[in-house]
Amino acid sequence: MMRRSRSEALFAEALQHIPGGVNSPVRAFRAVGGQPFFVERAQGSKLWDADGNELIDYVCTWGPAILGHAFPGIVEAVREAATRGTSFGVPNPLEVTMAQRIKLAVPSVEKVRLCNSGTEACMSAIRLARGFTRRDKIIKFDGCYHGHADSLLVRAGSGALTFGHPDSAGVPAAFTQHTIVVPFNDTAAVQAAFAANPGQVAGVIVEPVPGNAGLYLPRPGFLEFLSKLTAEHGTLLIFDEVMTGFRLALGGAQARFGIRPDLSCFGKVIGGGLPVGAFGGRAEIMDCLAPLGPVYQAGTLSGNPLAMAAGIAALTALESGEAYRVLEERGRQLEEGLGAAARRASIPVRFNRCGSMFCAYFTGAPVHNLADAMKSDRERFARYFHGMLEEGIYLAPSAFEAGFISVAHAAVDIERTVAAAERVLKRIG
């Protein structure tokens, strides 16, 4: 067994001061049992916990670490920016550079506003869609997570699923009565939702490749269908690319699938590991934001110079496109290796992958939506998770989370992972 005494002591202490010992619920390992470990240091594809154990990391801080941990260009940019002050509260040049970089990569974004998290980005995009269209209702999809703002916390994927209460206490029913939830990949359900709410739907918000209930892909034509239908109804199509943006391609899922949404939300990768969010889209819509228009949105630390410096360094490293080639190659290697290991162990596994995002569901049936994902054998996943952890491989501590590969994951990391999976799958079969 790996020594974890320091992590255990830290967690015992944390429990005294922080609810559940964690500052974000999935970190608590409730879905897999046991206790979280504490990380002291990270570099490239690896984490080192408080007891000195080395782990290959497939969580990548839930997506942002696409270049690997402590990427030199980002570390240097943050160090340099910090010497000039950590926050100004007045415009700084890096905000302009960041906005230009996002626009260059994502053509549907004509104007963009920076904020501090993906939650803020989605919450603000929804408010903007409502303000612009002067309509109240929004449509979201089962299992898609758009942050923890009240009106979006309905059937919202992993965190909520894991804890068995899909809606949070403390959210008045009145706050979510304008949120319509339909199954992903179900065109008839979307049509029915529009038919039942004529002229009332402000926006359809969607993770173009949902990665918060594991990972499943849009069926061919589904995103095109959403694009066409929303245009017909004067409804805004909002792509929540907080996870997929700058990960599936420099231009995100919308570049990969050739869709032009009205609004897009970003976060994670664009912050290079610092707290950043952004939302942007058609200028006509974005200009409804204060101070130009009536839709209010603000932030003391928005456009923070350290976060901008980190984000710009990350985007600079990604711009050559070489990173995405490497990520695709490693993704394929992992998919092939794990698939073969599962077959040899005679364990039914559905390995869904899109570029460097993946999820192994313990089920024999294809997974296209939340209902399919729920068929995954959670108990088997928990044994797999702990088995892998003992082997020095850190997967997300829930059967309903996507895994992430970084550019720093070398072919040999993937080989080690596949070899470990082979041993673990045989043991738990």
**Contact residues: ligand PLP, CB under 6 A:** 117-119, 122, 145-147, 207, 212, 240, 242-243, 267, 277
- Comparing CA positions, the residue from 275, 308, 309, 301 lying closest to residue 80 is 309
Minimum distance between the CB of residue 210 and ligand PLP, rounded to whole angstroms?
Answer: 8
Rounded to whole angstroms, how far apart are CA atoms 255 and 250?
A: 8
Q: Which is nearer to ligand PLP, 168 or 197 (CB)?
A: 168
Q: Which is nearer to ligand PLP, 44 or 143 (CB)?
A: 143
Token pair recorded at residue 217: 């892909």
3-state SS record for 297-355 = CCCCCCCCHHHHHHHHHHHHHHCCCHHHHHHHHHHHHHHHHHHHHHHHCCCCCEEEEEC
Rounded to whole angstroms, how far apart are CA atoms 262 and 250?
A: 18
Minimum distance between the CB of residue 277 and ligand PLP, rounded to whole angstroms?
Answer: 6
Q: Which amino acid makes up residue 358? A: F
Q: Which is nearer to ligand PLP, 247 or 386 (CB)?
A: 247
Q: Which is nearer to ligand PLP, 307 or 317 (CB)?
A: 307
> CB-side exposure of 314: number of CA atoms within 13 Å?
32
Contact indicator for 108, 174 with CB cutoff of 8 Å: no
Secondary structure letter of residue 144 according to DSSP: -
Minimum distance between the CB of residue 62 and ligand PLP, rounded to whole angstroms?
Answer: 6
Return left, alpha or beta for 235; rule: phi > 0 is left, psi -120 to 50 is alpha, else beta. beta
State whether the Cα torsion 81-87-91-95 is positive or negative: positive
Q: Which is nearer to ligand PLP, 14 or 215 (CB)?
A: 215
Minimum distance between the CB of residue 147 and ligand PLP, rounded to whole angstroms?
Answer: 4
Active-site residues, by number, are 145, 240, 268
Q: Which amino acid makes up residue 105? A: A
Contact indicator for 340, 419 with CB cutoff of 8 Å: no
* Residue whose entry in the numeric block shows the structure tokens 């204060």: 290
Phi, psi of 332 (to 5 degrees): -65, -40
Q: Which is nearer to ligand PLP, 157 or 305 (CB)?
A: 157
Q: Residue 278's beta-bridge partner residues? A: 114, 266
Minimum distance between the CB of residue 270 and ligand PLP, rounded to whole angstroms?
Answer: 11
Minimum distance between the CB of residue 44 and ligand PLP, rounded to whole angstroms?
Answer: 23
**By beta-carbon distance, which residue lies closest to ligand PLP?**
118
**Residues counted in the chain:** 429
Rounded to whole angstroms, how far apart are CA atoms 270 and 104?
A: 13
Measure CA of the first residue to CA of the last residue in the chain; give whole Å: 20
Minimum distance between the CB of residue 316 and ligand PLP, rounded to whole angstroms?
Answer: 22
Rounded to whole angstroms, how far apart are CA atoms 342 and 10?
A: 36
Q: Which is nearer to ligand PLP, 311 or 387 (CB)?
A: 311
Q: Residue 55's beta-bridge partner residues? A: 47
- Residues in CB range of 184: below 8 A, 6 or more apart: 141, 142, 143, 144, 206, 210, 216, 218, 368, 369, 370
Contact indicator for 149, 189 with CB cutoff of 8 Å: no
Minimum distance between the CB of residue 145 and ligand PLP, rounded to whole angstroms?
Answer: 5
Q: Which is nearer to ligand PLP, 117 or 133 (CB)?
A: 117
